[in-house]
Amino acid sequence: MEFKDKVAIVTGAARGIGAATAWTFAKRGATAVIVDINGEGAQKVAADIQAKGFNAIAFTVDVSNTEAVDAMVEEVFQKYGHIDILVNNAYISGGYAIVTETSQETWDKVIAVNLTGSFNFAKAVAKKMIPQKSGKIINISSGAGTSGSLSSGVQYPASKAGIIGLTLGLAGDLAPFGINVNCITPGLIRTWEPEEMAKQATGWTLEKVESYIAVEVPLKRVGEPEDIAETVVFLASKAASYIVGEVINVDGGGVIDSVAKRESLLGF
């Protein structure tokens, strides 16, 4: 298997894109290191992976806590002797409010988890990868980081745009050491169940999602966590060894000015 004996840290891996990514690495031979502030969820994902005969270990970590991140990375390194892959996926949105109603606490927390958390892990892991002269870091941003968001306030797109900038900075720093750093900007991905969506106060309903897909997604379907996971695995593979500092949209064509958009917005 391509990732046999590799160690892959995936943050925000108790569910959704992170869990799918951890599973995909484990199935291909890697030891999946499941990281999440939701310790119970992280342990369950790891246990499910282990039950299928694959390798996984779970850690409960607040990615915004520098000391906790450093300690966890050191523990993983001491246990396995190397760290080969980091996927910075942990995030929170902070919910929607117009900027004048967005609290300092919300802003600080979202930036701390999404952007500073990615920095914390990248810095800690880079210290282990640089002496190895190898490694892969994949940051998960969002389409909101390039086009904004009408449902996530100002803090979420700001943090995700920051991750794109962080990717470019890291890529330049670490490429001379044989470390590839790249970024994925997912579109609308199914990380929820219908009954969960009905309880959320984001304004999104299944009907709105279907309308969004009809106009904004040329591929005419919502993305699945596995769509992102497979792209992550590609970027971590030998096939992507000459790719550095790229931002890859995985959104079903959402960035394209499609026929459906023109029909909806322009009437032809």
d(C-alpha 67, C-alpha 79), whole Å: 18
For residue 104, give every residue at least 6 positions away whose Cβ sits within 8 Å of its Cβ, in sequence order, or none. Answer: none
From 91, 96, 156, 212, the catalytic residue = 156
What is the C-alpha to C-alpha distance for residues 163 and 19, in angstroms, rounded to an integer? 20
Burial code of 145-166, b = ≥16 C-beta within 10 A, e = fewer?
beeebeebbbbbbbbbbbbbeb
Check if 242 is active-site. no
Residue 57 one-letter amino acid: I
Tokens found for residue 210: 């279907």
Q: Are 9 and 56 in contact (CB under 8 A)?
A: no
Just list the catalytic residues: 156
